[in-house]
Structure 1
Amino acid sequence: MAVRAIPASMDPTVVGSIDRALDQLEHEYRVSIRLAIESGSRAWGFPSPDSDYDCRFVYIAELETYLSPWHTYDVLEPPISGPLDLNGWDLAKALQLLVQGNAVLIEWLMSPITYRRDTEFCARLRAVAEEVTDRDEIARHYLHLGNKQWALFNHSRSLKKVFYSLRPAMVLRWLREHPASTMTPMHLPTLMRQCELPADLSAAVAELTGLKSQAHEMGSGPVPAPISAFITTELDCAARTFHESVAHDRVRAQAVAAEFFQAEALTR
């Protein structure tokens, strides 16, 4: 069964363009798109009035494509057109990156904005993700991302970049507070609701989010103290908490992912 979740705030003309582009890609490349979601600031929970539409998707090619020695592409990325940015991964690439500790596929599975979702396929994919994912590797993914974006903010002082540091820091907090879970929410407000946070931090984030939702350009300036303290504390804590895993059985994870891929490719 396919499902769809599109907020009323999204431009129906752009959404229609996304639908047509996905149909065209399926026809032109003879692929089956099983999951297509929004993965930009709209899905993260802090859009600006002029935020782009960042559609990301997972597809399965025809079996003949995988059996051919001339199978050369594993990414579909049509040219950016206006506010529309589409990018999709072949299922094989998505699984390879997942096993390596890349958290992007988990984010796509957890996006609150869905253009297309084969629910049965996504349920199976989520089960595989939960089985093969190593929490420490996912945490280090967000630690690297958070440190990189925080350094960019400190260089540019662009308030927009605060959010790109804040969300990874909030994911790290969520992972610490949910030690049995790996499927971290993508949406910043959801992350915050599911964490124990001081009131002054929540108020500061709400104020800054409100400013971003109204301003085309936020400009530069100092970060509200509760947000700055939270980001630096969580990044420092994560560096001490989430170490390189020696227990993760990557060989077994690869076998589980390969079995899933083969089953899905054969039954497309």
Structure 2
Amino acid sequence: MTRDMTGLDFDELRGIIDDQPYRLMFATVSGAHLYGFPSRDSDVDLRGVHVLPVEEVVGLRTGPETLDRTWFQNEAEVDLVSHDFAKFARLMLRRNGYVLEQVLSPLVVASSPHHEELVALSPGCLTKWHSHHYRGFGKNQWDLFGKSGELKPLLYTFRVLLTGIHLLRSGEVQADLRELTSLPEAPDYLSELMAVKTEAEHGSLNDLPTPPAAESLERDYERLQRALDDGEAASILPDQPSAAEGLHDLLIRVRLQ
């Protein structure tokens, strides 16, 4: 077995990828493993792009734009979601930070020269309006934390807001919360939250020796939302993506290959 610091067995994951019905441009790991706080029983979230053959695009019977398969392997739930490249390219042009995180994930299970081209095109998809994605994602996770009290949605809340703030300032997609704790806005208790989360997938604040007060959490959440707003206003990122022509050209070449 070949395991990295995340505990993932990449040889085993590549065997899963080899068994898919369509050619994959790439497959990477997303979710808690990418975000820097996987637990021993975390799901394995595989995300990628498949390429439908021409006959399943131009004819009356078209192939699936999205494939979603979930199963258990070695007592872990594995979820593989892939989009046909045409759909994925459209998502990349729609201020969707989630798909850019998948393209740029350092946890690469399968790659190709076309994936490398996609990585090179990704900066041309960034706009200041990616703030909407991270603002909305952060609110959804914050509301989920309010209902469940679990650490996972709380960490997701802070992760997405800090990713958005960093993106607007630097033009860099950084999804690993361990790296984002260096931002001046990052609450100082994040490392402790991550340490507890890695011990239990469904851990709660009550598992901490001295949990942060609810008032502190809400104050930090609102502060990060304001920082995201300020980042949007001050960002030098463009209003519109510039990568549309490059993605169009790549799609044609990939499809006809």
- Under a length normalisation based on structure 2, what TM-score does the superposition of the two structures give? 0.82
What displacement does 1:134 show? Answer: 4.0
Please give the secondary structure, in 1, of the residue aligned with 2:81: strand
Partner of 2:252: 262
- From the superposition, tell whether residues 54 and 228 of structure 1 become closer, same or farther in structure 2 (CA, over 3 Å): same
Larger deviation, residues 161-170 vs 71-80: 71-80
Q: Deviations over 1:116-155 (max 9, x none)?
A: 122x322311232222x24222221011000111122223
More helix by share: 1
Please give the secondary structure, in 1, of the residue aligned with 2:198: helix
1:128 to 109, 112, 121: 121
Partner of 1:18: 13
Question: Counterparts of 1:21-170 in structure 2 under 5 Å?
Answer: 21-25=16-20, 29=21, 31-81=22-72, 82-118=76-112, 120-131=113-124, 133-170=125-162
Q: What root-mean-square deviation, in Å, do the aligned CA atoms of Structure 1 and Structure 2 show?
A: 2.6
Residue 186 in 1 paired to residue 179 in 2? no
- From the superposition, tell whether residues 123 and 23 of structure 1 become closer, same or farther in structure 2 (CA, over 3 Å): closer
Partner of 1:7: 4
Equivalenced residues, count: 244
Quote the Cα distance in structure 1 between the aligned partners of 2:46 and 2:173.
19
What displacement does 1:260 show? Answer: 2.1
Contact 1:111 1:187 in 2 (8 A): no
- From the superposition, tell whether residues 75 and 6 of structure 1 become closer, same or farther in structure 2 (CA, over 3 Å): farther
Residue 234 in 1 paired to residue 221 in 2? no
Larger deviation, residues 36-45 vs 155-164: 155-164
Identity among equivalent pairs (%):
20
**Where does structure 2 lack aligned partners over 5 or more consecutive residues?**
none
**Where does structure 1 lack aligned partners over 5 or more consecutive residues?**
none
- From the superposition, tell whether residues 191 and 264 of structure 1 become closer, same or farther in structure 2 (CA, over 3 Å): farther
Quote the Cα distance in structure 2 between the aligned partners of 1:74 and 1:54.
18
Quote the Cα distance in structure 2 between the aligned partners of 1:70 and 1:151.
41
- Under a length normalisation based on structure 1, what TM-score does the superposition of the two structures give? 0.79
